[in-house]
Chains A and B, each alone.
Chain A
Amino acid sequence: MARLGRRSLLRTATQVGVGVLAGVQSLGTHSIAQASSRTPASSPVLTYIYAGSSDQKALPDVEKALSALAMERISATVKLVTFDWGTFDQKISLANAAGEKHDLYYTAPWINNYYTNIRQEYLLKLEKLLPDLAPILWGSMTPETWDAARVGGSIYGAINQQIFVKPFGPYIRTDVAKDAGVEDAFRALTSYDDIGPIMAEVKKYIDSKKGGFQYVTVAANINATETFGYDVVDSGLVVKSTDTAGKVGLYSDTMEYSRAALTIRQWNELGYTPSEPKTSSEQQDAWKAGLSTMMMSGVVKPGGDAEIKARWGHDVISVAIAEPLLTTGGSTATMTGVNSLSANPEAAVKFLELLNSDVKFYNTLCKGIEGVHWEWDDKASLLIRPAGGKASYADNGYNPNTDWQFGNVFNSYYTAKSQVGAWPATADLNRNARPSPLLGFTFDGKAVDTERAACAAVAKEFGEPLTFGIVDPMTQIPALNKALQEAGIDRIRAEMQKQIDVWMAAKKR
């Protein structure tokens, strides 16, 4: 312990004065060769760190059950470590920077940043290990999908099979759709252009009811890039999914963006949306409290309505507007990485195989132990229910409820009847999605970090009022683009175009 500690201390001695919350960044290097040459113990203990809610009382029991299974299959035992969602970023980056020896951990572009972890050499290269030690996991996804996780030619994280595409679309409360008589019209929607008349009907319905609903929709954000077939790379810079040449454009400079902004503005003037901006948590509170009849843009996915019902208590009808587009960001949204300092990298990769191929092992981690935490409701359709007649899984002391964080969700048992069949449907959605011309490309923004920060600030200042429709798009979109120009968007665009051209040339060869 002391010996390793000293090594780590030397490694980090250069980083005196690291910012407290700024995300700890080690300037030293993890020695990968050293990690893999260390002889593994006879039955290694694999420490797996993930985000969740730490009050899972039955976690020790689940850990024991998983260890027994893992002992049988890969002669290793498992130690599960949960960091609370809100603290995951800080805790895992501290542990990584301090050179702790945990084996596997959750990583993604949006939390515990995958690219930062690669830059700091906290992640082990997996492209050579996966085909040998995790053949089922390796074969479960197309080479293009694996390319999404590649950085500099290497794969640093095992992608979790889940919904890769983001078919955004609106949803409406079923009771409102029926009472206002717009159900059929809503189900027939194919674009946001046709939703105006429906909103007018709903507005009439709300006004006639006096009280109750406050907004037709509390969120008017119909301007997500995916909705219009753009793959957003960084800083609001996009490539059209049909453009195989990969020409970078500014999203706020496109026709689609202007039209969406004008539509939102119109809704605001008609009183469909809140008169002042709401934070996302305020929007959710309003939706939950039953003040909004619709939400304009959510990921419409198989089984999604059941998730909304479970979380907010409202029955909804949802319609996908956006064409499913397979992007780098969507594919890498959830991954499990192996620590570059792991003492047992091979066992860790075998663990990944187990998580992604062994249905019993995976579901023990996701749902707990059969007969203790859950029991079969209908085994034929893989539907389960809380064990012991309890109302919810949490009552049995184990309900992490993040199957998508652990592995291949298509192996997950269904927890609600309306969810049955969602996984094959999701797999179809992924398979049939159009791959973005940039699938597999990742932008390295290090050279233009200053400009990116400046542009992000501009986008927030000008973009949010436009998303809420409280300013006039005719003057504010040009103002936004001018401010972006001044913040250096063109330098980012040039850098991005350069990297894309190099990447495309390499791909053709």
Chain B
Amino acid sequence: MTVASPSDARPSLRLPTRRGFDAPTVVVHIAVACLAMLCLFPLLLVVASSFTDEIALARNGYSIIPSQFSVEAYVAIFNKPTVILRAYAVTTGITLVGTVLGVSMIALLAYPLSRRDFILRTPISFMVFFTMLFNGGLVPYYILMTQYLNVQNTIFALLLPHLVGAYYVLILRTYFSGLPDELFEAARVDGAGEWTIFWQIAVPLARPALATIALFIALNYWNDWTTALYFIRSPDLYPLQYLLYIIQSNAQAMALQEQVGQIGTQKLPTETARMAMAVLATGPASILFLFFQKYLVRGVTLGAFK
């Protein structure tokens, strides 16, 4: 196996030149464009609704072009920005710390597992793999977190569960073992220690794979609300997605209360405010994705299944 350098990969990824636009290409492009529109449409609808006047929305329903433009929803949210800003801080914090820590730990686990001269390679690999087949279920997980690790209602409850994913360890291990042994041997001959080999040879070569995994982990942290649902009770530690979930599910609970004859007079955010919250919560994640996308394509094609 040879090192897959970016220059090797380029020809296969090159887009057809303008002259190369023939009928099949056009058909494919149109099909893909339609598919993309289908995916984008709901998102655009949410964005448009968040910019629609509340009464106009109730009157005319949802439309892709706001029937009556209004930024009221955003004004309402940023009038009392503490809640959403705090949630942003929590989510950004755990995403950054979690991604850096997670990638480091996964790399440090995957690299030794990729080395044929590591004695415990097979048993440890099996232990990693085993967690993908069986898990304890929700209640033991909850008991572990709350009664043994005692991390409930702390930031660690949000960080720990997504730190090391077995699947990512296996992907990275495969990637590392695809790197030529000769490189490491050469380094060893030149007098490099294990740490130097890891940091200066293995990690730089695995950069696309690491970036891909970093993206996956970052998205996991960004989109995670179930962990907060299980373990977080203090509003100060609510992540963004959980805040959104609470707003949506509270509205449903209010409807239930009415069925039993109780009118909860708590003020709920309006439909448009909920849409605006959704926009604010998804926006940064989409930008993150665009930023990492080039690594993602390369990482998946080069790393995963070699």
Contact = CB atoms under 8 A, between A and B. Distances in A.
> In terms of DSSP, what is the predominant structure of the interface of chain B?
helix
A311 B262 CA distance: 12
B235 A90 contact: no
A166 to B, nearest CB: 5
Contacts of B230: 90-91, 94
B263 A304 contact: yes
A108 interface: yes
Contacts of A98: 139, 142-143, 146-147
Contact of B246 (A12, A13, A84, A394): A84
Contacts of B137: 15-18
Interface stretch (A49-57, A234-242, A337-345, A469-477): A49-57
A211 to B, nearest CB: 9
Contact of B251 (A5, A26, A281): A281
Given A2-B148, A5-B147, A13 B140 contact: yes
Contacts of B251: 86, 281
B11 interface: no
A94 B58 contact: no
Nearest to B60: A214
Contacts of B264: 85, 311, 401-402
B147 A4 contact: yes
Which residue of A83, A285, A307 has the most chain B CB atoms within 10 A of its CB atom? A285
B261 A86 contact: no
A333 interface: yes
Contacts of B245: 86-87
B250 interface: yes
Interface string B255-267: 1101111111111
A24 interface: yes
Nearest to B263: A307
A166 B261 contact: yes
B140 A16 contact: yes
Interface string A2-26: 1011001100110111111000101
Taking residues whose C-beta sits less than 8 angstroms from the other chain, chain B's interface range is 35 or more
A214 B57 CA distance: 13
B130 to A, nearest CB: 14
A4 B59 CA distance: 57
Which residue of B137, B226, B249 has the most chain A CB atoms within 10 A of its CB atom? B137
Which residue of A4, A13, A91, A311 has the most chain B CB atoms within 10 A of its CB atom? A311
B139 A291 contact: no
A453 interface: no
Contacts of A166: 261
A90 B55 CA distance: 34
Nearest to A99: B143
A111 B245 CA distance: 18
Interface in B236-277: 245-256, 258-267, 270-271
A83 B242 CA distance: 13
Contacts of B267: 394
Contacts of A85: 249-250, 253-254, 264
A55 B86 CA distance: 13
A13 to B, nearest CB: 7
B256 A111 contact: yes
B304 interface: no
B229 interface: yes
B278 interface: no
Contacts of A100: 146
A290 interface: yes
A94 B231 CA distance: 10
B229 A91 contact: yes
Interface in A389-418: 394, 399, 401-402, 404
A94 B138 contact: yes
Contact of B252 (A15, A86, A285, A334): A86
B253 to A, nearest CB: 4
B24 interface: no
Interface string B35-56: 0000000000000000000110
B263 A1 contact: no
Contacts of A308: 263
Given A18-B138, A98-B142, A289-B59, A86 B246 contact: yes
B136 interface: yes
Interface in B163-178: none
A87 B229 contact: yes
Contacts of B151: none
Contacts of B229: 87, 90-91
Which residue of B148, B226, B246, B270 has the most chain A CB atoms within 10 A of its CB atom? B246
A311 B267 CA distance: 7
Interface in A53-88: 53-55, 81, 83-88
A310 interface: yes
Which residue of B55, B135, B262, B270 has the most chain A CB atoms within 10 A of its CB atom? B262
Nearest to B134: A16
A20 B226 contact: yes
A20 B227 CA distance: 11
Contact of B138 (A20, A55, A288): A20
A110 B134 CA distance: 34
Contacts of B233: 54, 81, 83, 91
Nearest to B261: A299
A12 B143 contact: yes
A163 interface: yes
A53 B58 contact: no
Given A288-B58, A310-B265, A110 B142 contact: no
B133 to A, nearest CB: 12
B187 interface: no
Given A15-B137, A26-B139, A84-B246, A311 B263 contact: yes
Contacts of A84: 246, 249-250
A391 to B, nearest CB: 12
B261 A291 contact: no
Interface string A262-282: 000000000000000000111
A286 interface: yes
Which residue of B138, B226, B245 has the most chain A CB atoms within 10 A of its CB atom? B138
Given A17-B137, A51-B253, A55-B235, A285 B261 contact: no
Given A53-B266, A81-B233, 7 more contacts: A5-B147, A13-B140, A90-B230, A110-B259, A284-B255, A291-B59, A401-B265
List the 3 shortest-distance A-B pairs measured between CB atoms, nearest first.
A86-B249, A5-B147, A85-B253
22 contacts: A12-B143, A15-B137, A16-B136, A17-B135, A81-B233, A85-B250, A86-B248, A86-B253, A87-B245, A87-B249, A110-B256, A110-B260, A163-B261, A289-B59, A291-B58, A291-B59, A308-B263, A311-B264, A333-B260, A399-B266, A401-B264, A402-B264
Interface of A: 1-2, 4-5, 8-9, 12-13, 15-20, 24, 26, 51, 53-55, 81, 83-88, 90-91, 94, 97-100, 108, 110-111, 162-163, 166, 214, 280-282, 284-286, 288-291, 298-299, 301, 304, 307-308, 310-311, 330, 333-334, 394, 399, 401-402, 404
